[in-house]
Amino acid sequence: MATTMKNLSVLGATGSIGVNVLNVARSYPDLYGIKYLSAHSQADLLIEQALEFSPKAVCIGDSGHYDKVNKALPGTEVLQGRSGLLELAGRDDVHTMVNALVGSAGMEPTIRSIQAGVDIALSNKESLVMAGDFINGLLKKHEVNLFPVDSEHSAIWQCLVGESTEDIKRLVVTGSGGPFRTLPVESFANITVAQALKHPNWAMGRKITIDSATMMNKGLEVIEAHWLFHLPAHKIDIVVHPQSIIHSMVEFLDGSVKAQLGIPDMKIPIQYALSYPRHLKQDWEQLDLAKVGTLTFEEPDLKKFRCIQLAFDALEAGGSVPVVLNVANEESVYRFLNGEISFNTIPKLITNAIDAHEFIEHPNLDDILALEQWTQAFIKRS
């Protein structure tokens, strides 16, 4: 095999993406070594992972679990808290950092890792939504690669292998439409947390599952695609594709369209981000198109799923607006999950935060971090 051994740092190792990263690593022990692991609060799973993969260091975000982790892993360096996570993200003795952290908390680790000269496999789309311009500048400066893990962006990336960016007419980001695709908008106020957490095709964490239900996830992915593939908002479209078999498409100037297909399983884009440009053998479930039978497509309903339009508007407005959009969304989602606000209040709170904030045309990292705090406080008191 032409691929050489890579040492990985996996941040957010106990979440749904992190666990699948380790599933991929487990199947190719000669290709992937695990040097660092971090978890927020799932101490038992982190310990179990560390005992299996023998990393050099781990970080437990919630300091309340530090003693337990430290006692269970003698001989392993154990870091804790936000500062421990940032320190781990800044270590330069790994080949690739997999950022599987949830939400805006993942942005600074992305930046630390680039500054350390370490390639990134990025699942944390919020990094690019909040600081895409800043991160692209850093990638260039430090000559670091950033590979998408998000299935849509992995699909576009795969469609673009061997192609010229100047030949692209548009990107078509597909989305399942989530659990409320056919629910009348009049019923949105009564959507329960349990209903919103039932995604038809993908098994994911709680935050992204709610983002899929509001379709903000698709909006965030449009912004992510803008920074990854350097195309303006009007050249990025969303098509609803309920079967989640086509993971996205690229249309070229001659009318040719390339699509990437597969079963909806994050292990495929995760492995590609680690094995690029190779597609390494796996025995997991394979796509059987005859069994799938029908692939259907429809326009997204922007009146029903207001978060999509908010995201397009934020990308168009630029500057600090996507920062506020992202953080306001995240905080609103947590308030919804806590039973504090209704499902259809989420886009209202995001709109209020964007309207109330003081616009910054070119936010630097300090501006972004200050805006994050401002927006969190704004949504908490809304």
Which residues would be at the binding site for Mg ion (CB under 5 A)? 150-152
**Distance of closest approach, residue 313 Cβ to Mg ion, in angstroms:** 21
Kindly state the tokens that stand for 49.
């992972």
Phi first, then psi, for residue 245 (nearest 5°) are -105, -45
Spatial distance between the Cα atoms of 304 and 236, rounded to a whole number of angstroms: 20
**Distance of closest approach, residue 94 Cβ to Mg ion, in angstroms:** 25
Spatial distance between the Cα atoms of 183 and 185, rounded to a whole number of angstroms: 6
- Closer to Mg ion by CB, 107 or 341: give it: 107
Spatial distance between the Cα atoms of 260 and 262, rounded to a whole number of angstroms: 7
**Distance of closest approach, residue 65 Cβ to Mg ion, in angstroms:** 30
**Distance of closest approach, residue 223 Cβ to Mg ion, in angstroms:** 12
- Closer to Mg ion by CB, 200 or 319: give it: 200
Query: In this chain, which residue has its C-beta nearest to Mg ion?
Result: 150
- Closer to Mg ion by CB, 115 or 202: give it: 202
Spatial distance between the Cα atoms of 368 and 260, rounded to a whole number of angstroms: 34
- Closer to Mg ion by CB, 113 or 174: give it: 174
**Distance of closest approach, residue 152 Cβ to Mg ion, in angstroms:** 5
Spatial distance between the Cα atoms of 59 and 352, rounded to a whole number of angstroms: 36
**Distance of closest approach, residue 186 Cβ to Mg ion, in angstroms:** 28
**Distance of closest approach, residue 269 Cβ to Mg ion, in angstroms:** 9
Q: Is 347 helix (H, G, I), strand (E, B) or coil?
A: helix
Q: How crowded is residue 12: how many other Cβ atoms within 10 Å of its Cβ? A: 27
Spatial distance between the Cα atoms of 101 and 117, rounded to a whole number of angstroms: 19
- For residue 79, what are the β-bridge partners? 59
- Closer to Mg ion by CB, 211 or 379: give it: 211
- Closer to Mg ion by CB, 42 or 174: give it: 174
**Distance of closest approach, residue 254 Cβ to Mg ion, in angstroms:** 28
- Closer to Mg ion by CB, 150 or 265: give it: 150
Give the helix/strand (H/E) hosting 121. Answer: strand 119-122
**Distance of closest approach, residue 202 Cβ to Mg ion, in angstroms:** 8
Kindly state the tokens that stand for 319.
């500057």
**Distance of closest approach, residue 142 Cβ to Mg ion, in angstroms:** 26
Spatial distance between the Cα atoms of 97 and 274, rounded to a whole number of angstroms: 10
Cβ pair 348, 359 in contact under 8 A: no
- Closer to Mg ion by CB, 253 or 261: give it: 261
- Closer to Mg ion by CB, 108 or 150: give it: 150
Cβ pair 167, 253 in contact under 8 A: yes
DSSP 10-55: EETTTSHHHHHHHHHHHH-TTTEEEEEEEESS-HHHHHHHHHHH--
Spatial distance between the Cα atoms of 204 and 214, rounded to a whole number of angstroms: 15
Helices (H), the chain: 16-27, 43-53, 66-72, 81-89, 107-115, 125-142, 151-159, 193-196, 206-214, 216-229, 267-275, 289-292, 306-317, 321-337, 346-356, 365-380
- Closer to Mg ion by CB, 66 or 305: give it: 305
Spatial distance between the Cα atoms of 139 and 120, rounded to a whole number of angstroms: 10
